[in-house]
Homo-oligomer: A and B are copies of this chain.
């Protein structure tokens, strides 16, 4: 190692799901929405001024913040936006979890949490989910430097009812609690209605799943104005202008077209429920999912082999080689046509 390398922060980065550059695949590996963004988004993109691109964007991304505040019945100072929910969460880790006591999160959860903790040297402890991948709320009633969990959880899809979230908040008034709701729109109830009651609650959501804008990188957080101010102070100490003009313009349209949003959610939920039935018939087992994916295992098919066989056919699903999850596949809910191809493959695979 060279001397200049001594002062370098060395980390083991998060590995995102594969983004294959080839076409003609069925991409069920990174939980994207199978439907395009709203026609209003397309319209706005068409009429977007590239002349204006010479100018910096509004550093506060006010148009987008206002659209979100209006949508969730909040005031503008209760909303924070960032470059996808990963950016929002990274900023939140940096802002809120500066304690010698451990940050708590589930043992089976979004695998970026330990990576952020390592990056910012935040001590953490994982809290085991029960055998059904359910969160055990009592395990969070202990001293900690912060709490974070997704609801519905990733990669399991398991949704915890709001009364359990409230219980955890009632027992944790001395540290910041983040509920990561990347998948909430696919059937859960958002904890956003609890933010007036708990000033230490931050709710994080994203445009990458339900709003079909993974490619534009937009995420947001909602919480009381004090929490949002601290988050903005760190954001303005990191990068004044995180949201491009394009992200602001297209993001606003995606939020405003509520009818299109609902319609696309309904389609995905209908497909998900049908796929659940068919997969159960094929002998798969999975916790009930309120997200846009299923987390499934099969008594006869080792998950890694099945993943490889699917990939061979151009069907991408996600596999996590980690304790408790290494015989499961996470399968995004695509269009009906895509899921028919997927299910057709499983039927053939079974006969082998």
**A215 CB–B CB distance under 8 Å:** yes
Q: Which residues of B contact A30 (CB under 8 A)?
A: 56
A94–B9 contact, CB under 8 A? yes
Closest residue to A200 on the B side, CB-wise? B4
Known A27-B55, A45-B48; judge A174-B4 contact (CB<8 A).
Answer: yes
Which residue of B2, B11, B214, B246 contacts A233 across the interface (Cβ within 8 Å)?
A: B11
Which residue of B8, B42, B46, B241 contacts A217 across the interface (Cβ within 8 Å)?
A: B241
B55–A238 contact, CB under 8 A? no
A237–B8 contact, CB under 8 A? no
**A57 CB–B CB distance under 8 Å:** yes
Sort chain A's interface into a size bin. Answer: 35 or more
**Docked pose: A15 CA to B202 CA in angstroms:** 25
**A216 CB–B CB distance under 8 Å:** yes
Which residue of B52, B83, B199, B246 contacts A2 across the interface (Cβ within 8 Å)?
A: B199
Closest residue to A16 on the B side, CB-wise? B240
B16–A216 contact, CB under 8 A? no
**Stretch in A32-40, A127-135, A275-283 with 4+ CB within 8 Å of B:** A32-40
A-B CB contact pairs (8 Å), 18 listed: A2-B199, A4-B200, A7-B97, A7-B99, A8-B230, A13-B234, A14-B236, A21-B58, A35-B54, A42-B50, A45-B48, A45-B50, A53-B215, A53-B216, A53-B250, A55-B215, A83-B83, A90-B238
18 additional A-B pairs beyond A21-B58, A246-B247, beta carbons within 8 Å, are A7-B96, A7-B145, A13-B235, A13-B236, A16-B56, A19-B59, A34-B54, A37-B54, A45-B50, A55-B215, A56-B215, A83-B242, A86-B241, A87-B238, A116-B237, A119-B234, A216-B246, A246-B246
